[in-house]
Amino acid sequence: MKRKRLLGIAVVALALAGIATLAALRLARRQGAAATVAVVPVVAAAGPLAPGARLQATDLEMVDLPPGALPQHVFHRVADLTGRVITAQAVAHQVIVGEMIAAPGSGVGLPPLIPAGMRAVSVKVNDVVSVAGFAVPGTHVDVLLTGNPAENSDPRQVTTITLLSNVQVLTAGQQLLQNPNGKPQTVTVITLLVSPEGAEKLALADGYGHIQLSLRNPLDGKSPATAPLLNGTLYRGVSTPANPRTTAPRRAALAREAAPQAWPVVLIEGGTQQTLKFPAAMDAGGDPR
């Protein structure tokens, strides 16, 4: 009797264990299915990508991410990006977003990197102007202009102004990217990203003055207003003797301008009078000079 009772208890225990195991398996399957569903396939870079390049299918890959980890404006098909131009540098497995892609028809290379309403202007540089070659793509600079705004050759009137402030360097030579090791780039031309008004200023300054670049910290967005600096103000307290080669002709010109051009003479005859004018300068023979 006891054996039958024990056997019955064992059968019930096995049945309960089987039911519990089956329930656990079903729950695990549901959790696994939920985990599989809770990811979204998006397009990413298969390897490093340089700005200005036209994307090919081999440049891209699909990665699965949770919906809560997705940035905005992602792409879900490689075909949506094939043939498009990327405008920002990307590393391997980086998700591609819409802000990194140029508008259709904007071309390849440098043009799609120029935002709407802006212009790219190239200027000649040397090691000094380009801050020893450290004015590389992605850096920001101030453009200084030195020249003589007065219509004379007086060196004291030579003036330096900050022509443009916080300007981005687009390219150094034909390079769109910085050296990964931070090394300077020796080039003869750099391209700056400026407004249309800034493009006009650069073109005029490059032809009639001397341009110098001042490298900025990329985190420094302030542009304090500075007054034009005259060459003469660099030597405060130092008196410079007048140059007779320049002062004497100038004084003579001022004297000629101040002197009357003709002398008026009133002639009275009887009850009539008239005014006669004679040249102010006469030679020894009485003839006008």
- The DSSP string of 97-154 is BGGGBPPTTS-SSSGGGS-TT-EEEEEE--TTTTTTTT--TT-EEEEEEEE--SSS--
In this predicted structure, what is the pLDDT of residue 256?
Answer: 65
pLDDT (mean) for 174-194: 85
Question: Is the model's pLDDT at 10 over the cut of 60?
Answer: no
Q: What percent of the chain has pLDDT over 90?
A: 30
Kindly list the distances between the CA atom of residue 197 and the CA atoms of 16, 32, 121, 203, in Å, as whole numbers in the listed order: 84, 60, 11, 10
In this predicted structure, what is the pLDDT of residue 92?
Answer: 92
pLDDT range class, residue 183, cuts 50, 70, 90? confident
E strand segments, the chain: 40-45, 60-65, 119-124, 140-147, 159-172, 189-194, 210-215, 229-230, 262-269, 272-279
How far is Cα 235 from Cα 229, in angstroms, rounded to an integer?
Answer: 12
In this predicted structure, what is the pLDDT of residue 168?
Answer: 93
Q: Are 107 and 132 in contact (CB under 8 A)?
A: no
In this predicted structure, what is the pLDDT of residue 87?
Answer: 86
Tell me how long the chain is: 289
| pLDDT higher at 23 or 221 | 221
In this predicted structure, what is the pLDDT of residue 37?
Answer: 59
Question: Is the model's pLDDT at 13 over the cut of 70?
Answer: no
**pLDDT tens-digit map of 81-116:** 999 999 888 999 999 999 889 888 777 888 888 888
How far is Cα 11 from Cα 14, in angstroms, rounded to an integer?
Answer: 5
CA nearest to 260, candidates 247, 287, 278: 278
**pLDDT tens-digit map of 212-253:** 999 999 888 888 888 888 888 887 765 555 555 555 666 666
Which sign, positive or negative, has the C-alpha torsion 54, 57, 61, 67?
positive
**pLDDT tens-digit map of 142-168:** 999 998 888 777 888 889 999 999 999
Q: Are 144 and 206 in contact (CB under 8 A)?
A: no
Per the structure block, which two tokens stand in for 173? 């030579």
In this predicted structure, what is the pLDDT of residue 239?
Answer: 55
